[in-house]
Structure 1
Amino acid sequence: MLDNNIALNTYSSSNSPFSSHKKYRNFFLVVLLVSGLIVLCLPFINLSSNNGENFHRLNLNDLNDPRMVQLRSLAYGTRAKNSKCTYWDCFNVYLCGCTGHERIAVYVYPLKQYFTENGKPVTTKISKEFYDIVKSIVESKYYTSNPHEACLFIPFIDTLNEDILDGNLTSRLLNQLPRWSNGENHLLFNMLGGTPPNYSEILDWSLGNAMIAAAGFNTYNFRRKFDISLPTFSPLAKQAQVNNTRQIRNWKVIASQIDIDPYFSAVLQQLSKYQNDALLLLDRCSPHIYTKRCEINSRTIYEYPQVLRESTFCLVFRGKRMSQFILSEAMAANCIPVIVMDGYVMPFHEIIDWNRAAIFIMEANLNTLMDVIDGISDKKIVQMRNSVIFLYRKYFSSMGNIAINTLDIIQDRVFPHRARTYDDLNLLPSEVNYNPLYFPTTAPKATGFTAVILTYDRIQSLFILIERLVKVPSLTKIVVVWNNKKKDPPALSEFPIVSRPISIIKTQANKLSNRFYPYKEIETEAVLHIDDDIVMLTSDEIEFAFEVWREFPDRIVGFPSRTHFWDNITNTWKYESEWLNEISMVLTGAAFLHKYWSYLYTYKLPEYIRAWVDNNMNCEDIAMNFLVANVTNKPPIKVTPRKKFKCPECASNEMLSADIGHMVARSQCVDRFAQIFRRMPLKLIEFRADPVLFKDSFPEKLKRFNNIGSL
Structure 2
Amino acid sequence: MILPDAVCGHKYRNAVVSTVIVVVVMVALRLCAQMVGVGLASGGSDARVSLEAASHWEELVVGGGGQQQPTPSRHNCHYYNCFNVYRCGRNGNQRLSVYVYPLARYVDEEHVAIKPMSREFFEVLDTILNSEYHTPNPEEACLLVPPIDTLNENSLRRDKIGQALSMLPYWAEGENHLLFNMLPGTPPQFDTSLGVGRGKAMVAGGGFSSLTYRRGYDIAIPVYNPAHQNEPLGRKPGSERQWLVVSSQVNIHRDYREDLEAQVTQVMAEGSHSDLLVLEKCGPDVNLTQRCRGDQMYPYPGILREAKFCLVVRGGRLGQSVLYDAMRAGCVPVIVADGYQMPFSEVIDWREASIQVYEEDLPEVMNILRRDVSMERLGEMQRQVLWLYEQYFATMKDITLTTLKILNDRVFPAHARPLSLWNTRPRPSAVANPLFLPLTAPASEGFTAVILTYDRLDSLFQVIQMMAQVPSLSKVLVVWNNQRKPPPQASLWPKINVPLKVVQTRENKLSNRFYPYEEIETECILAIDDDINMMTADELEFGYQVWREFSDRIVGFPSRNVLWSNDTHSWKYDSEWTNEVSMVLTGLAFYHKYWSYVYTTQLPGDIKSWVDTNMNCEDIAMNFLVSNLTGKAPIKVTPRKKFKCGECTSGDLSANEAHMVERSQCVRHFTRVFGTMPLKTVEFRADPVLFMDNFPKKLKLYDDMGSL
Q: TM-score range by the shorter chain?
A: 0.5 to 0.7
Give CA deviations for 1:258-279 in whole Å, capped at 9, x if unaligned: 0311222112111112323211
**Alignment partner, residue 296 of structure 2:** 300
Give the Å deviation of 1:164: 1.1
Give CA deviations for 1:351-371 in whole Å, capped at 9, x if unaligned: 111111111111111122222
The separation in 2 between residues aligned to 1:519 and 1:386, in whole angstroms, is 46
In the superposition, the TM-score normalised over structure 2's length comes to 0.57
The separation in 2 between residues aligned to 1:598 and 1:605, in whole angstroms, is 20
Equivalent residues of 2:192, 2:209 under 8 A apart: no
**Are residues 121 and 302 of structure 1, via their aligned partners in 2, closer, same or farther at CA, if it must alter by over 3 Å?**
closer
**Alignment partner, residue 404 of structure 1:** 401
Give CA deviations for 1:184-204 in whole Å, capped at 9, x if unaligned: 011111111012332124222
Alignment of 1:318-337 (within 5 A): 318-337=314-333
**Are residues 609 and 92 of structure 1, via their aligned partners in 2, closer, same or farther at CA, if it must alter by over 3 Å?**
same
Give CA deviations for 1:563-586 in whole Å, capped at 9, x if unaligned: xxxxxxxxxxxxxxxxxxxxxxxx
Give the Å deviation of 1:449: 5.0
Give the Å deviation of 1:446: 11
**Are residues 74 and 316 of structure 1, via their aligned partners in 2, closer, same or farther at CA, if it must alter by over 3 Å?**
farther
Give the Å deviation of 1:102: 1.5
AA aligned opposite 1:300: Q
**Alignment partner, residue 182 of structure 2:** 191
Give CA deviations for 1:310-369 in whole Å, capped at 9, x if unaligned: 111100011110011100001101111011111000000011111111111111111222
CA RMSD for the aligned pairs?
Answer: 3.9
Give the Å deviation of 1:413: 0.7
Give the Å deviation of 1:632: 4.4
**Are residues 122 and 438 of structure 1, via their aligned partners in 2, closer, same or farther at CA, if it must alter by over 3 Å?**
farther
The separation in 1 between residues aligned to 2:552 and 2:446, in whole angstroms, is 10
**Are residues 368 and 240 of structure 1, via their aligned partners in 2, closer, same or farther at CA, if it must alter by over 3 Å?**
farther
Alignment of 1:114-193 (within 5 A): 114-115=106-107, 120-193=111-184
**Alignment partner, residue 94 of structure 1:** 86
Aligned match for 1:112, one of 75, 84, 104: 104
**Alignment partner, residue 83 of structure 1:** 75
The separation in 1 between residues aligned to 2:136 and 2:433, in whole angstroms, is 36
The separation in 1 between residues aligned to 2:262 and 2:112, in whole angstroms, is 56
**Alignment partner, residue 521 of structure 1:** 541
**Alignment partner, residue 373 of structure 1:** 369
AA aligned opposite 1:279: L
Aligned match for 1:448, one of 445, 450, 459: 445
Give the Å deviation of 1:100: 1.7
The separation in 1 between residues aligned to 2:375 and 2:342, in whole angstroms, is 25
Give the Å deviation of 1:136: 0.9
The separation in 2 between residues aligned to 1:226 and 1:319, in whole angstroms, is 26
Kindly indicate whether residue 233 of structure 2 is the aligned counterpart of residue 221 of structure 1.
no
Kindly indicate whether residue 26 of structure 2 is the aligned counterpart of residue 68 of structure 1.
no
The separation in 2 between residues aligned to 1:367 and 1:251, in whole angstroms, is 18
The separation in 2 between residues aligned to 1:232 and 1:289, in whole angstroms, is 19
The separation in 2 between residues aligned to 1:597 and 1:605, in whole angstroms, is 21
**Are residues 449 and 425 of structure 1, via their aligned partners in 2, closer, same or farther at CA, if it must alter by over 3 Å?**
same
What SS does the corresponding residue of 1:285 show, helix, strand or coil?
A: coil
Give the Å deviation of 1:295: 4.3
Give the Å deviation of 1:521: 1.4
Deviates more, 1:208-217 or 1:271-280: 271-280
**Are residues 82 and 93 of structure 1, via their aligned partners in 2, closer, same or farther at CA, if it must alter by over 3 Å?**
same
**Are residues 74 and 304 of structure 1, via their aligned partners in 2, closer, same or farther at CA, if it must alter by over 3 Å?**
farther
Equivalent residues of 1:526, 1:595 under 8 A apart: no
Give CA deviations for 1:589-626 in whole Å, capped at 9, x if unaligned: xxx6246257799989999999xxxxxxxxxxxxxxxx
Give the Å deviation of 1:678: 12
In the superposition, the TM-score normalised over structure 1's length comes to 0.57
Aligned residues: 446
Equivalent residues of 1:124, 1:158 under 8 A apart: yes
Alignment of 1:178-327 (within 5 A): 178-242=169-233, 244-246=235-237, 248-275=240-267, 276-296=273-293, 298-327=294-323
Runs of 4+ residues deviating >6 angstroms:
48-51, 431-439, 444-447, 598-610, 627-630
Task: Provide structure 2 residue ranges, at least 5 long, that are not aligned to the other structure.
Answer: 1-33, 268-272, 448-470, 474-537, 565-577, 582-622, 633-675, 681-708
Equivalent residues of 1:217, 1:322 under 8 A apart: yes
Equivalent residues of 1:240, 1:309 under 8 A apart: no
What SS does the corresponding residue of 1:260 show, helix, strand or coil?
A: coil
What SS does the corresponding residue of 1:355 show, helix, strand or coil?
A: helix
Alignment of 1:514-663 (within 5 A): 520-522=540-542, 524=544, 527-529=547-549, 593-594=551-552, 596=554, 631-633=627-629
Give the Å deviation of 1:218: 0.4
Deviates more, 1:421-430 or 1:319-328: 421-430
Give CA deviations for 1:507-553 in whole Å, capped at 9, x if unaligned: xxxxxxxxxxx953146599543xxxxxxxxxxxxxxxxxxxxxxxx
Give the Å deviation of 1:286: 2.4
**Alignment partner, residue 385 of structure 2:** 388
Equivalent residues of 1:256, 1:282 under 8 A apart: yes
Equivalent residues of 2:68, 2:167 under 8 A apart: no
The separation in 1 between residues aligned to 2:81 and 2:429, in whole angstroms, is 35
What SS does the corresponding residue of 1:395 show, helix, strand or coil?
A: helix
Equivalent residues of 1:448, 1:524 under 8 A apart: no
The separation in 2 between residues aligned to 1:141 and 1:605, in whole angstroms, is 32
Give CA deviations for 1:72-123 in whole Å, capped at 9, x if unaligned: 468668641111111122111111111122111111111223455x564544
The separation in 2 between residues aligned to 1:271 and 1:315, in whole angstroms, is 13
What SS does the corresponding residue of 1:220 show, helix, strand or coil?
A: coil
Alignment of 1:36-51 (within 5 A): none
Give the Å deviation of 1:166: 1.2
Alignment of 1:438-477 (within 5 A): 448=445
AA aligned opposite 1:83: H
The separation in 1 between residues aligned to 2:435 and 2:198, in whole angstroms, is 44
Kindly indicate whether residue 305 of structure 2 is the aligned counterpart of residue 347 of structure 1.
no
Deviates more, 1:377-386 or 1:118-127: 118-127
The separation in 2 between residues aligned to 1:244 and 1:350, in whole angstroms, is 27
The separation in 1 between residues aligned to 2:128 and 2:624, in whole angstroms, is 39
**Alignment partner, residue 560 of structure 1:** none
The separation in 2 between residues aligned to 1:186 and 1:436, in whole angstroms, is 43
Give the Å deviation of 1:245: 3.9
What SS does the corresponding residue of 1:113 show, helix, strand or coil?
A: strand
Give the Å deviation of 1:447: 7.3
